[in-house]
Amino acid sequence: MARVLAVLRGKRQTKRFQRTVYLLPSMFTVGTLFCGYACIVYAMQENYATAAIFIGVATVLDVLDGRIARLAGAASEFGGEFDSLADVISFGVAPAVLVLAWGLEPLGRLGWAVGFLYVTATALRLARFNVQTDTPDKRYCVGMPSPAAAGVLVSTVFAWPDGFGVPQAPVIALAMVLVPALMMVSRMRFRAFGALTLRPRRSFLVLLQIPLLIAAIAVQPEPVLFFMAYSYLASGPIGFVVGRLRRSTARRGGRGGRDTTEVPTAQAG
C-alpha cells in the first residue's frame, strides 16, 4: 500500500513539474507583453529613454522564451500564437507609439500613418513567420525580424532621448521608421540571432562573446546599441547585393566557359 501511494505521489509531482515547465515560456511571454505596455505608458509620460529600455528588456525575454521552450520540450501551438500576439504589441505598437511621441508628432496625420504602417509591417512579418513551415537554411530568416526592427527605432531614441535638435528631425524620424518596416516585409535574408555566434569548434570564444558584449554595453550603452542595431539593419541589403553580384559573376563565368569550348569546335569544323 505504501508503495502504491508513493507511486501515485510521484506521478502527481511529475504532472506538476510538467505543468510548470509548460507554463515557464508563457511567463516570459507575459513579461515581454508587460514591457511593451510599460513602453507605451512611459512614452505617454515623455520619458523616452526609460520607454526604450523596456523594449530592450522585451527583446531579451523574447529570445529566452523560445530557447527555454525548445530546451524543455515545452513548445506548443498555443505558445507560438501567444508569443506572436505579444510581439505585435511589444515590437510593433509600442515602438510605433514611442517614435510617434518622440519625433513624428510634428508631421501630424502623416506621422500617424507612418506609425500605423510600421505596426502593419510587424503584423505581416509575424504572420509570414508563423506560416513558414519549410525553411531550407535555418541560419537565415526571410525579412528582418520584428525585435531587430524595433531595436533600430528604440536604439535611436535611447541615444537621442531629447531629439536630434535639427529642423529636419521629423524627416529623419520618418526614414528611421519606414526603412525597418520595408525590411520586415521584404524578401531579403537576415542572419538568424542564433547563428550570429561563432562556430561551435571555437567554444572558448563563444563563451567570451556574451561577457564582452555585456561589458561594452555597460561602458557605452548608447553608441554600442545604436551600432549593433544599424549594423544588423544594413546586413540584409549588403548581403542581398553581394549575393546578386556573386550570381552574376557565376553566370558570366559559366557563359565564358561554354564560349571557350564552342569556339575551337567551330574553327575545327
Amino acid at 43: A
For 74, how many CA atoms within 13 A lie in the half-sphere containing its CB?
21
What pLDDT does 132 receive?
A: 75
Cα(176)–Cα(102) distance, rounded to whole angstroms? Answer: 12
Q: Which of 144, 146, 123, 151 is nearest to 53 (CA)?
A: 151
| Fold that domain 2-268 belongs to in CATH | Four Helix Bundle (Hemerythrin (Met), subunit A) (1.20.120)
Cα(30)–Cα(86) distance, rounded to whole angstroms? Answer: 8
Query: Which bin fits 36, alpha (ψ -120 to 50), beta or left (φ > 0)?
Result: alpha
Mean of the per-residue pLDDT values of the chain: 83
pLDDT in tens, 232-257: 999 999 989 998 898 888 888 766 54
pLDDT in tens, 142-174: 899 999 999 999 999 999 999 998 999 999 999
For residue 137, pLDDT beyond 80: no
What pLDDT does 253 receive?
A: 75
